[in-house]
């Protein structure tokens, strides 16, 4: 081989890998979310899971993508570990479809022009041309997705043909043949397969390159191909391992299960070939492999592994959990375990557990708010972890509590319990959204730190006053909710109105400082984002407090917004609280404005 052959080989490999990646991405886009939804609805039927895994992987041309998808589903709590294992086995079968497609290049076109058109050298340029024409002429998304698939197939086969042409001179090279006799050592061949698949991060691409090498040189024997194919099945888990970093334990167990399947499967495959079939004389070590025979060997190997492991799916799941035990649930997560369907036989007890959970949501929101306010003054990565953990609980609690409350309200509840259920149902989302805005405050702190944005001293003092007012409305709201105290809830609405007025005042002060050149536009954006979150938190507190008041209001047809509007106009209690809060927060804010010389 001369320098031009090596350049052609490099280009062929590049086209082949690009074509495979482009094809997989195009097929995935064309399928849309249907494949994911199919997996989400997967039942506990392991054989159905096996078939679905094979189908999905054959469609998107990547077992790694399927496994990473499963890791995501388990991480989100959509699927259990035991459900994923049959799908993993099916994915290993589905990934062999690519090799069976690539064997089309072995078709001989002699004597038949029609059969000759099935050879990649003939149809690859045709597919690329048709795909490019469709993409240029059509603006429809579906047509472009089909065109992308055609071009992906064409580029894939064109790259393979280019590689084969570049490797042609090696077919008569004695030194090259001697090199490949080294790979007949099963350990060396196994390691080479692992290395190749790890680098390419695709078992399909690795097997495809092996097929092309076999067709071009005619020197790949069974002794070389068998351990390489087994090694490729191990190396393909590299991207899956990378995807499992930093996710929760249940999802990491999926990666471990795939690792066990690959490693144990490879050991069984090697033992079967070298300790059983070879002594019985059923193996021809010097047999020269073709694209088709390599594709068949790859398919048979993965089918055999699936057949062997399918009865032991539950056992494998237990082994993965034994090696990587489930993390002990936090105290807050433990409260979610109390939302048990068995308690629905005693609705009052079930409702009491719901009250415990939503009270935990309230105390968690208060805690997160305090942490986020600290972050505005001093950013700390460890505090971010605590904030994210609390937010994860609030998100999880909202979903599980909402679903469970639907079941509870369907039970035969007493009149008083039904009012409590209504209060909880209406407040769940408000507590969760308070948590969302706490996280937004944390995001502002992170953004300010990474971009060296600093508030002026006056802006900091103003923010502290507003933040203190929001802290009081939040703690007052949670207290009134936990104690079911409507008199405490009456304090919330006047403070919410005052916080809104304070935020408007701070915005006006910022505009004045900006015009005077005291502060910057960038700091102003962060300031406004903080004020927006403060206002939204106060608004959600108002909603929760009104739900508490509603429970203690006789009659039906409570108009929450009408009641709040009426309070603003005619309630002496409202006016008294507003006056007290003004002295505590608004007057000091106005004094700050006067100190700055802002009218």
The pLDDT tens digits of the residues spanning 115-159 come to: 455 555 666 788 888 888 888 888 787 788 788 878 877 786 677
In whole angstroms, how large is the CA radius of gyration of the chain? 33
Residue 194 Ramachandran class (φ > 0 left, ψ -120 to 50 alpha, else beta): alpha
pLDDT class of 287 with cuts at 50, 70, 90:
confident
Whether this model's pTM surpasses 0.75: no
Inter-residue contact 493 to 474 (CB < 8 Å): no
Residue 492 has pLDDT above 70, yes or no: yes
Residue 284: how many CB atoms within 10 A of its CB?
11
- Burial of 424 per CB tally in 10 Å (0-12, 13-18, 19+): buried
Lowest mean pLDDT among 12-21, 182-191, 586-595: 12-21
3-state SS class at 221: strand
**Quick one: pLDDT at residue 33?**
47
Residues facing residue 288 across a β-bridge: 221
The alpha carbon torsion through 593, 595, 596, 599 (nearest 10 deg) reads: 50
Q: How many residues does the chain have?
A: 599
Mean pLDDT of the chain: 81
Lowest mean pLDDT among 19-33, 95-109, 212-226, 297-311: 19-33
Residue 329 has pLDDT above 70, yes or no: no
The two tokens of residue 124 are 């690859």
What percent of the chain clears pLDDT 90, i.e. is strictly above it?
22
Residue 228, CA distances (Å) to 94, 182, 383 in order: 19, 12, 48
Compute the distance between CA of residue 31 and CA of residue 34 in angstroms, rounded to an integer.
Answer: 6
Lowest mean pLDDT among 386-390, 514-518, 577-581: 514-518
For the chain, domains (ranges, CATH) are 25-109+180-323 (no CATH), 330-451 (1.20.58.220), 453-599 (1.20.58.220)
Start-to-end CA span in the chain (Å): 84
The two tokens of residue 446 are 């992170």
**Quick one: pLDDT at residue 317?**
86
Q: What is the pLDDT of residues 81-113, one digit of tens each?
A: 788 888 888 888 888 887 787 777 666 554 445
- Burial of 342 per CB tally in 10 Å (0-12, 13-18, 19+): exposed
b/e 575-598 (16+ beta carbons within 10 angstroms → b): eebbeebbeebbebbeebbeebeb
């Amino acid at each position: 081989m001369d320098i031009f052959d090596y350049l052609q080989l490099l280009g062929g490999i590049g086209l082949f890998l690009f074509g495979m990646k482009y094809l997989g991405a195009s097929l995935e886009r064309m399928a849309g979310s249907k494949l994911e939804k199919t997996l989400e609805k997967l039942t506990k039927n392991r054989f159905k899971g096996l078939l679905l895994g094979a189908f999905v992987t054959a469609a998107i041309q990547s077992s790694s993508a399927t496994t990473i998808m499963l890791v995501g589903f388990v991480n989100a709590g959509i699927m259990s570990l035991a459900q994923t294992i049959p799908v993993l086995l099916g994915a290993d079968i589905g990934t062999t479809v690519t090799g069976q497609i690539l064997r089309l290049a072995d078709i001989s076109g002699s004597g038949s022009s029609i059969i000759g058109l099935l050879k990649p050298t003939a149809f690859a340029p045709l597919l690329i041309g048709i795909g490019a024409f469709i993409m240029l002429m059509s603006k429809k998304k579906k047509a472009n997705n089909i065109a992308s698939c055609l071009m992906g197939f064409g580029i894939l086969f064109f790259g393979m043909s280019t590689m084969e042409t570049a490797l042609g001179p090696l077919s008569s090279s004695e030194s090259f043949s001697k090199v490949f006799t080294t790979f007949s050592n099963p350990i060396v061949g196994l390691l080479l397969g692992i290395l190749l698949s790890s680098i390419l991060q695709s078992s399909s691409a690795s097997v495809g390159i092996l097929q092309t090498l076999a067709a071009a040189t005619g020197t790949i024997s069974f002794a070389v191909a068998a351990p390489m194919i087994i090694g490729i099945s191990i190396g393909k888990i590299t991207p899956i391992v990378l995807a499992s970093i930093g996710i929760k334990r249940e999802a990491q167990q999926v990666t471990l299960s795939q690792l066990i399947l690959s490693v144990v499967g490879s050991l069984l495959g090697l033992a079967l070939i070298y300790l059983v079939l070879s002594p019985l004389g059923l193996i021809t070590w010097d047999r020269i492999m073709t694209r088709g025979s390599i594709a068949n060997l790859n398919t048979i190997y993965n089918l055999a592994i699936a057949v062997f492991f399918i009865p032991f799916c539950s056992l494998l799941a237990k082994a993965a959990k034994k090696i990587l035990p489930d993390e002990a649930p936090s105290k807050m997560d433990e409260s979610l375990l109390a939302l048990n369907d068995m308690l629905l036989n005693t609705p009052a007890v079930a409702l009491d557990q719901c009250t415990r959970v939503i009270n935990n949501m309230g105390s968690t929101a208060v805690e997160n708010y305090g942490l986020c306010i600290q972050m505005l003054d001093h950013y700390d990565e460890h505090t971010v972890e605590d904030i994210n953990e609390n937010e994860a609980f609030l998100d999880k609690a909202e979903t599980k509590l909402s679903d469970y409350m639907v079941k509870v309200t369907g039970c035969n509840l007493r009149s008083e319990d039904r009012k409590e259920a209504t209060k909880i149902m209406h407040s769940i989302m408000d507590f969760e959204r308070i948590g969302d805005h706490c996280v937004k405050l944390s995001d502002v702190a992170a953004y300010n730190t990474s971009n060296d944005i600093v508030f002026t001293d006056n802006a900091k003092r103003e923010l502290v006053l507003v933040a203190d007012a929001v802290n009081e409305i939040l703690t007052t709201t949670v207290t009134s909710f936990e104690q079911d105290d409507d008199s405490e809830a009456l304090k919330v609405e006047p403070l919410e109105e005052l916080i809104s007025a304070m935020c408007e005042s701070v915005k006006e002060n910022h505009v004045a400082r900006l015009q005077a050149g005291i502060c910057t536009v960038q700091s102003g954006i962060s300031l406004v984002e903080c004020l927006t979150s403060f206002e939204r938190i106060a608004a959600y507190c108002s909603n929760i407090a009104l739900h508490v008041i509603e429970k203690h209001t006789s009659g039906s047809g409570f108009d929450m917004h009408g009641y709040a509007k009426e309070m603003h106009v005619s309630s002496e209690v409202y006016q008294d609280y507003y006056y007290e809060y003004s002295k505590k927060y608004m007057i000091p804010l106005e004094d700050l404005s006067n100190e700055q010389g802002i009218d």
